[in-house]
Amino acid sequence: MRAVRTGDDRRWRLRHLPVLLLASAVLGGVAGLVGGLTGGADAALGAAAGVAVTVVSYTLTTVVLAWADAINPQLVLPFGLGLYAAKFTLLGVVMVAVASTGWDGLIPLCVGIAAGVVVWTGVHIWWLTRVHSRDSAR
């Protein structure tokens, strides 16, 4: 199996992103629908927003790390760790702020975040084991 990371394919770092974004968009719609049916407008907004939080976070990480790797692979670790610390600090601040409002969409927001993580990770694993491995074998 040859490595895909060759000079003739400079977009390999982001090739998986459209599939993940599509799966996340579908999840966001389903989360909003389920939230709306089970808990009303606040739950619909919370569930969809939770998925969006995960998508923005993971997309930001993907793009920043792809950029860092393209510049110099030694930048991946410091940028990855710095971005991780910044994102989780911001997420904590936002969650505390949202929780202090007493908003009814808080629990659906948390469920949406968790669902986003599960779907993004699952689709990424599927893409790596099915699509990417098939493309690498060529």
Quick check: is 5 in a domain? no
Quick check: is 88 in a domain? yes
Quick check: is 112 in a domain? yes
Quick check: is 66 in a domain? yes
SS3 116: helix
Quick check: is 4 in a domain? no
What DSSP assignment string belongs to 42-62? HHHHHHHHHHHHHHHHHHHHH
Quick check: is 30 in a domain? yes
pLDDT for residue 11:
73
Cβ atoms within 10 Å of 106's Cβ, excluding its own: 18
**pLDDT tens, residue by residue, 4-61:** 444 445 677 888 999 999 999 999 999 999 999 999 999 999 999 999 999 999 999 9
Quick check: is 7 in a domain? no
**pLDDT tens, residue by residue, 66-77:** 999 999 999 999
How high does pLDDT run on average in the chain? 90
Backbone phi, psi, residue 72, to 5°: -165, 115
pLDDT category of residue 132 using cuts at 50, 70 and 90? low
Number of domains, the chain: 1
pLDDT category of residue 89 using cuts at 50, 70 and 90? very high
Asked if residue 2 has pLDDT above 80, the reply is: no
Contact 21, 56 (CB under 8 A): no
CB half-sphere exposure, 60, CA atoms < 13 A: 14
Give the range of the structural domain holding residue 107, as residue numbers without chain letter: 12-137
Quick check: is 32 in a domain? yes
Amino acid (one-letter) located at 31: A
**pLDDT tens, residue by residue, 94-112:** 999 999 999 999 999 999 9
pLDDT for residue 80:
95
Contacting residues for 113 by C-beta, under 8 A, at least 6 apart: 50, 51, 53, 54
